[in-house]
Amino acid sequence: MKFYRSRSFSFWMAAGSALFVACSVWIIGKSYRSEAMGSFDFFMGVSGGAFFLLTAFFWLCAAMREQPDLDFSPEGLIVLDFANQRIPWGEITGAAVYMERMVRLEIQEAFAQKLNRTWVAKIQGLFYGKAIFFIATSGMGLSPAKLVTLIKLRGAD
């Protein structure tokens, strides 16, 4: 069973990021004319513009991706948000709804050490540990509660 994030959702997220880039450019221009490059507004415009330009790029990449975001199989689960390798069902120790819109997935610590994680998962690992991951269900047409149920049933519907 495979689940894909909606392309239109990804395009709208990229468009929203591009709007913030445009606002950042406006802030940069306004602050440069009034206070030159040393102002706090200029710094915030540049840093905000860079951040949202990066997020727009990643949302466009997500919209063009052909691989499923979630891939259930009898062997395990692939979640492209944090790794591109299959997590065997025996390595998953828990799944629960987190903050109403996400799923908190816990896996064995030993397997988590060997997992080839994405850069987002590496940053999350600094705060939550390497064995805890979060799956965003936005744009997938799948509720977090349904995803938790599927994980607990090992993908069987």
pLDDT given for residue 156 in this prediction = 59
The predicted pLDDT at position 157 comes to 54
Residue 155, pLDDT score = 59
Residue 48: name the closest of 22, 16, 12, 15 by CA: 22
How high is the pLDDT of residue 24? 93
Half-sphere exposure in the Cβ direction for 133 (13 Å, CA): 31
The pLDDT of residue 52: 94
2 by DSSP, 3-state: which?
Answer: strand
Single-letter code of the amino acid located at 67: Q
Q: How far apart are CA 157 and CA 1, in angstroms?
A: 9
Low-confidence ranges of the chain (pLDDT < 50): none
Instruction: Classify residue 122 by burial, with Cβ atoms within 10 Å: 0-12, 13-18, 19+.
Output: exposed
What is the per-residue pLDDT for 62? 81
Question: Which tokens sit at 35?
Answer: 């206070």
How would you write 73-118 as a 3-class SS string? CCCEEEECCCECCCEEHHHEEEEEEECCCEEEEEECHHHHHHCCEC
CB 150 within 8 A of CB 72: yes
Cα–Cα dist 88/126, whole Å: 23
Beta bridge pairs of residue 132 = 106
